[in-house]
């Protein structure tokens, strides 16, 4: 989907009009001028420099956390070549209460932490050390400067501790920085242009000319393909194809497919191309998934799956405050039974579709199709039949074949790519596109593309997983169902109007620190044999094409390498003690809510927990320890009891004299034996 973003020119004007401080005026912890507060947005600003004392950054972007991870021999950002780098994380820590807090750094290379312009910690000198300082209420300036090592991974993580909580990563809901700094606005425009270049598949027609040869993009979005059109005659309806080819955005305003036809012959040409596509019928007709499905059953299933968080039945030209996609013309689009087949295997012909794979049964797919056909009220006018032979020629001539293939066993053909020269004509023209495709770009998007096209394009051959995951969490609209960084979900907003509450789904705030990337990858690819939370009616969808890099990127966002998980060496004696802490008698009564293998929980009622076998495979040790100590700080909506109310001692004094950490560590050693 092509997403709007703040106007570059307006933002640059704001930058010059609202500096962060007056020249010579020292920062005063606590209060900020109203103009400064108005310019703040969640997260920190991450800048990269050629040298530590440089004032002009090579690149700048926003991050959620005070963390960074760059694997050895990898680019720290798509706009910087691999190798040693200098970086700064800057912004404010908005503290709820004045008090004493301890800080510690974890990382590699040379790292310095400043709070309110005072140096607090340096690495490697202060490795394994913490420093207690006083934070004022509200805004405290924070800066983390790091110089990566010449070899090896680069890692930075900032932790803090307070009177009522032990060391934890500084949470994203207390971190803020200005969104309108001139360098950040400039680099954000270039970054947005790069994303548009990739998502609009510009590389199918155009190339950058590098120093020696043309640049071949390798970033994931550039290597993805548009939907395959094989067997289109059995999948799509002719009148919809004509209307879609003529003007995709009339049927779906968010469409990234351009209008490629114009002039008095456009409708006739669209009819010819549509006639060619409906002539593509391979194999037998699509069988009905199940006979006589009921729309009412599909409607109930759609509610359980939360389909209305992303879709709505209204006319697509009617504005929706939640930005949901319309299925007004869905019935007009799909041939009978084709919709059910698509819902069952949405990635079969379009690996990068945003449509989730819910692992539907045949019956469920048929029920959803019946429901959608009942809800889809859009009617399209009948069109004169076109000429399939002319359409096949036009399919090639108009450039359709550059993005779409019509055979399941072939990729799109390779074409001679045109080097971009005139940046104000063709698809980038404000109005008259001539023979060029019309993507419906608004001024901000054209400015972003122009900013990117003025670069050397080498960034198209580089990717950083952390940036990929941030993009994809937004693209896949994970916030429809999952909370992240304290924000509510769209599902909650939809059900709020009905006086209902959605199911409590896991928060995504700490997922990169929490889960082993290998587990996350399988979950996102839909490869797990069983669900971690089978009691939840909603289903975690699969996005196989994105799974690997998305899992790694989430880990990098939190400053963790994909394989980083420092665990204590297994101790059989501790495991035996941990086993005794599982039952109710003399233990924490874990078996009341948690299953252990095939042994079900005793009485979970409204607070079931995941199978402890899964916990052994899913969790990082670091996350497990802080979850056990303060689950209410990790995720306030979860029903895990707090066993150590002071963060130090539990009520079970017979084991390790009540030492919570040692008891939880013994539990960990036992849980690690369960997968066997």
My answer on whether 168 and 221 are in the same domain is: no
* Residue range(s) defining the domain that contains residue 440: 189-225+412-461
Q: How many domains does the chain have?
A: 5
In a domain, 591, yes or no: yes
Cα-Cα-Cα-Cα dihedral sign, residues 437, 440, 443, 447: negative
Relative to beta strand 325-326, strand 311-312 is parallel
In a domain, 402, yes or no: no
Tokens of 198: 């990739």
Q: How far is CA 172 from CA 66, 67, 582, in A?
A: 8, 10, 33
My answer on whether 242 and 326 are in the same domain is: yes
Does 243 score more than 60 pLDDT?
Answer: yes
Torsion of CA 624, 628, 632, 636, to 10 degrees: 40
Choosing from 420, 441, 461, the residue where a domain stops is 461
For all residues of the chain together, what is the average pLDDT? 90
Find the mean pLDDT for residues 375-391. 96
The model's pLDDT over 501-547, given as tens digits with 9 standing for 90+, comes to 778 889 999 999 999 999 999 999 999 888 889 999 999 999 999 99
Least confident of 13-27, 212-226, 467-481, 591-605: 13-27
Q: What is the pLDDT of residue 310?
A: 93
My answer on whether 156 and 56 are in the same domain is: yes
Does 314 score more than 50 pLDDT?
Answer: yes
Choosing from 397, 426, 450, the residue where a domain stops is 397
Q: Which is higher by pLDDT, 571 or 224?
A: 571
The model's pLDDT over 135-165, given as tens digits with 9 standing for 90+, comes to 999 999 999 999 999 889 999 999 999 988 9
Q: What is the pLDDT of residue 4?
A: 39
Cα-Cα-Cα-Cα dihedral sign, residues 662, 664, 670, 671: negative
Q: Model confidence at 23, in pLDDT bands (50, 70, 90)?
A: very low
Q: What is the 3-state secondary structure (H, E, C) of 360-423?
A: CCHHHHHHHHHHHHHHCCCCCCCCCCCCHHHHHHHHHHCCHHHHCCCCCCCCCCCCCCEECCCC
My answer on whether 31 and 161 are in the same domain is: yes
CATH no. for residue 115?
Answer: 2.60.120.1560
Does 491 score more than 80 pLDDT?
Answer: yes
In a domain, 404, yes or no: no
Dist. CA 546–CA 468, nearest whole Å? 9
In a domain, 406, yes or no: no
Relative to beta strand 67-70, strand 325-326 is unpaired
My answer on whether 351 and 373 are in the same domain is: yes
Dist. CA 367–CA 616, nearest whole Å? 37
Q: What is the pLDDT of residue 28?
A: 86
Q: Model confidence at 12, in pLDDT bands (50, 70, 90)?
A: very low
My answer on whether 273 and 370 are in the same domain is: yes
My answer on whether 442 and 548 are in the same domain is: no
Residue 546, Cβ density class (10 Å: 0-12 exposed, 13-18 middle, ≥19 buried): buried
Q: What is the pLDDT of residue 500?
A: 79
Dist. CA 418–CA 435, nearest whole Å? 14
Dist. CA 140–CA 210, nearest whole Å? 45
Dist. CA 585–CA 406, nearest whole Å? 66
Q: Which is higher by pLDDT, 13 or 372?
A: 372
The model's pLDDT over 50-85, given as tens digits with 9 standing for 90+, comes to 988 888 999 999 999 999 999 999 999 999 999 999
- The pTM assigned to this predicted structure is 0.91
Find the mean pLDDT for residues 198-211. 83
Q: What is the pLDDT of residue 17?
A: 35
Does 16 score more than 70 pLDDT?
Answer: no
The model's pLDDT over 423-439, given as tens digits with 9 standing for 90+, comes to 777 888 888 877 788 99
DSSP string, 423-439: TTSGGG-SS--TTS-B-
Dist. CA 549–CA 431, nearest whole Å? 38
Q: What is the pLDDT of residue 530?
A: 83
In a domain, 297, yes or no: yes
**CB atoms inside a 10 Å sphere around CB 567:** 12
My answer on whether 650 and 544 are in the same domain is: no
Q: Which H or E run contains 471? A: helix 465-475
Task: State the residue for tokens 């990082």.
Answer: 620
Q: What is the pLDDT of residue 10?
A: 35
For residue 112, give the DSSP letter.
Answer: E
My answer on whether 251 and 327 are in the same domain is: yes
């Amino acid at each position: 989907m092509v997403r709007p973003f703040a106007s570059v020119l307006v933002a640059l004007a704001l930058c010059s009009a609202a500096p962060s401080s007056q020249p010579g005026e020292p920062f005063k912890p606590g209060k900020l001028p109203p103009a400064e507060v108005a310019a703040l947005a969640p997260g920190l600003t991450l800048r990269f420099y050629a040298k530590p004392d440089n004032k002009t950054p090579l690149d700048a972007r926003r991050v959620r956390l005070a963390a960074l991870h760059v694997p050895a021999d990898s680019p720290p950002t798509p706009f910087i070549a691999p190798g040693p780098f200098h970086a700064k994380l800057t912004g404010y820590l908005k503290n709820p209460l004045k008090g004493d807090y301890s800080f510690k750094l974890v990382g590699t290379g040379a790292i310095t932490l400043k709070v309110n312009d005072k140096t607090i910690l340096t690495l490697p000198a202060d490795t394994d050390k913490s420093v207690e300082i006083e934070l004022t209420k509200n805004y405290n300036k924070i800066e983390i400067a790091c110089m990566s090592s010449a070899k090896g991974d680069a890692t930075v993580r900032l932790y803090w501790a307070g009177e009522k909580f032990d060391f934890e990563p500084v949470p994203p809901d207390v971190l803020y920085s200005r969104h309108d700094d001139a360098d950040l606005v400039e680099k954000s425009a270039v970054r947005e242009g790069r994303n548009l270049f990739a998502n609009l598949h510009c590389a199918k027609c155009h190339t950058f000319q590098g120093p020696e040869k043309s640049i071949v993009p390798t970033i994931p979005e550039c290597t993805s393909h548009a939907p395959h059109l094989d067997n289109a005659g059995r999948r799509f309806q002719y009148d919809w194809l004509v209307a879609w080819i003529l003007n995709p955005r009339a049927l779906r305003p968010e469409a990234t497919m351009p209008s490629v036809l114009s002039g008095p012959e456009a409708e006739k040409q669209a009819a010819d191309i549509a006639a060619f596509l409906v002539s593509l019928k391979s194999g037998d007709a699509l069988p009905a998934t199940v006979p006589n499905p009921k729309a009412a059953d599909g409607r109930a299933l759609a509610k359980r799956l939360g389909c209305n968080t992303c879709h709505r039945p209204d006319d697509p030209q009617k504005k929706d405050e939640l930005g949901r996609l319309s299925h007004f013309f869905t019935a007009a689009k799909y041939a009978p039974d084709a919709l059910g087949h698509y819902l069952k295997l949405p990635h079969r012909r379009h690996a990068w579709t945003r449509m989730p794979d819910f692992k539907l049964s045949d019956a469920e797919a048929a029920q959803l199709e019946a429901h959608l056909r009942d809800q889809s009220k859009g009617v399209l006018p009948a069109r004169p039949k076109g000429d399939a032979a002319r359409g096949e020629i036009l399919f090639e001539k108009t450039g359709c074949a550059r993005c779409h293939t019509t055979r399941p066993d072939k990729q799109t053909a390779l074409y001679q790519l045109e080097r971009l020269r005139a940046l104000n004509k063709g698809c980038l023209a404000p109005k008259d596109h001539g023979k060029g495709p019309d993507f419906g770009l608004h001024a901000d998007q054209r400015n972003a593309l122009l900013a990117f096209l003025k670069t050397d394009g080498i960034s198209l051959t580089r990717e950083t997983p952390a940036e990929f995951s941030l993009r994809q969490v937004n693209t896949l609209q994970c916030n429809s169902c999952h909370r992240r960084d304290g924000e509510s979900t769209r599902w909650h907003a939809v059900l709020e109007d009905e006086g209902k509450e959605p199911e409590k789904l896991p928060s995504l705030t700490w997922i990169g620190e929490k889960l082993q990337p290998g587990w996350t990858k399988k979950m996102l690819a839909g490869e797990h044999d069983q669900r971690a939370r089978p009691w939840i009616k909603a289903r975690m969808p699969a996005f196989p094409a994105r799974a690997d890099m998305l899992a790694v990127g989430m880990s990098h966002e939190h400053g963790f390498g994909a394989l980083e998980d420092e665990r204590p060496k297994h101790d059989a004696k501790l495991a035996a003690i941990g086993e005794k802490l599982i039952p109710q008698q003399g233990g924490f009564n874990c078996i009341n809510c948690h299953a252990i293998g095939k042994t079900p929980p005793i009485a979970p009622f409204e607070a079931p927990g995941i199978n402890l076998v899964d916990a052994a495979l899913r969790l990082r040790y670091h996350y497990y320890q802080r979850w056990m100590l303060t689950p209410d700080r990790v995720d306030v909506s979860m029903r895990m009891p707090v066993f150590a109310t002071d963060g130090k001692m539990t009520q079970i004094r017979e084991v390790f004299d009540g030492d919570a950490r040692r008891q939880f560590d013994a539990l960990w050693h036992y849980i690690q034996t369960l997968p066997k």
